[in-house]
Amino acid sequence: MLFVSSTNGYLYALKQDSGAIVWRTSLGDYLTDATAALEGRVIFVSVHSSALEALDASTGKPYWTFETNEKIQAPPLVMGNRVLLASRTTLWTLDATSGRLVWKFHHGVGAWPTSGSPTLVGNTVYFALGSGTQFWALDLADGHVLWSFDTNDRITSTSLVQAGSVYVATWHGTIFALNRSNGARRWSLSLNPIQRETVVDGVGGSMALADGHLFVGDYRGTVLCMDAVKGRVIWRYATGAQVLATPIVASALVYVGSSDGYFYALDTHTGRPAWRYATGEIRSSASLANSHLFVGSINGMMYAFS
């Protein structure tokens, strides 16, 4: 099965092998960011802009609904019996079976919600909220603060954790590598080395991490590969328009869609395209399953690639 949210306000369940519709259900809004999360046979997805719903993956029938009364723009994270959800000013931790609130962390005032999901590694939750500039590490058990780091910029990306480092990207285009245990800065790289009143570059999606390298797309339409240890750029590849999608790395290729209307497969070592396909504008990330890539386009089509 393949699950995808559409700007027509529906969540679709499609057959992976054919794209045939198995079921669809109304999300109650037209969010383009209502990315669903799958855990076992349960789908978790935001509905009516401010609630989280758990659905039977086979039928689309709801098990429970949890209302946050805040705008949700980030996909939920489901790990075992916990669901982590970031809304406008609050991180919610729910029981996955019942939808019961386990604890919540509130910070800041009304702002545009973050588009980055929380990241859970071990018993530590890493996340950011809304238009705030603070990046947090909390204890999963009760939500108490382990450390925080001020990026001085809105954080739009889901963080990545590997070994002793946490990686996060900001709206105005700064990539940070932080010490995982205490939040101290290891390095930072600005995509705008010269500060200007008008933002020239930035990151709208999230990064990918593979074989010691970070891969990220930016507003200029460039896909970058960086050394995750040293924070230096190894290569850049320019597409024809902004890249808002999160790259996927597999089989020595970086797969990512661009607003220029193409879906790209780039060599991880050189950045040169192995192939590209005209799909129409892509803003969302692809999914990789069973040796196939699935990606949706603004033209209303879902594509499956081998």
Domain boundaries, the chain: 151-306
The pLDDT value given to residue 216: 97
pLDDT tens-digit readout, 221-276: 999 999 999 999 999 999 999 999 999 999 999 999 999 999 999 999 999 999 99
Q: From CA 104, how far away is CA 120, in angstroms rounded?
A: 15
User: Token match 């209502």: residue?
Assistant: 34
Neighbours of 197 (CB within 10 A): 4
pLDDT tens-digit readout, 88-118: 899 999 999 999 999 999 987 767 788 889 9
The pLDDT value given to residue 193: 63
Token digits of residue 221 = 């339409």
The pLDDT value given to residue 200: 65
Between 166 and 28, name the one with better pLDDT: 166
Q: What pLDDT band is residue 201 in, cutting at 50, 70 and 90?
A: confident
Domain 151-306, second-level architecture: 7 Propeller (2.130)
Q: Residue 139 carries which side chain, given as an amino acid letter?
A: D
Neighbouring residues of 4: CB distance < 8 A, sequence distance ≥ 6: 11, 12, 14, 36, 294, 296, 302
Strand 185-190 with 174-179, pairing: antiparallel
Average pLDDT estimate for 169-191: 95
Q: What residues pair up with 78 in beta bridges, in sequence order?
A: 83
* Sheet-wide strand order for 208-210: 208-210, 213-217, 222-227, 233-238
- pLDDT over 80 at 198, yes or no: no
Q: What is the CA radius of gyration of the chain?
A: 19
- pLDDT over 90 at 197, yes or no: no
Neighbours of 237 (CB within 10 A): 20
Q: From CA 155, how far away is CA 221, in angstroms rounded?
A: 19
Neighbouring residues of 288: CB distance < 8 A, sequence distance ≥ 6: 248, 250, 255, 294
Q: What residues pair up with 154 in beta bridges, in sequence order?
A: none
pTM above 0.75, yes or no: yes
Neighbours of 195 (CB within 10 A): 9
Cα-flanking dihedrals φ and ψ of residue 248, to 5°?
A: -120, 135
What is residue 237's DSSP assignment? E
Neighbours of 32 (CB within 10 A): 13
Average pLDDT estimate for 57-68: 97
The pLDDT value given to residue 131: 74
Q: Residue 80 carries which side chain, given as an amino acid letter?
A: G
% residues pLDDT > 90 (the chain): 84
Token digits of residue 31 = 């969010």
| Mean pLDDT (the chain, rounded) | 93
Q: From CA 241, how far away is CA 262, in angstroms rounded?
A: 10
Q: What residues pair up with 304 in beta bridges, in sequence order?
A: 294
- pLDDT over 70 at 39, yes or no: yes
Q: From CA 277, how far away is CA 279, in angstroms rounded?
A: 6
CA atoms 76, 207, 70, 150: torsion sign: positive
* Sheet-wide strand order for 62-67: 37-39, 42-47, 51-56, 62-67
Q: What pLDDT band is residue 196 in, cutting at 50, 70 and 90?
A: low
- pLDDT over 90 at 204, yes or no: no
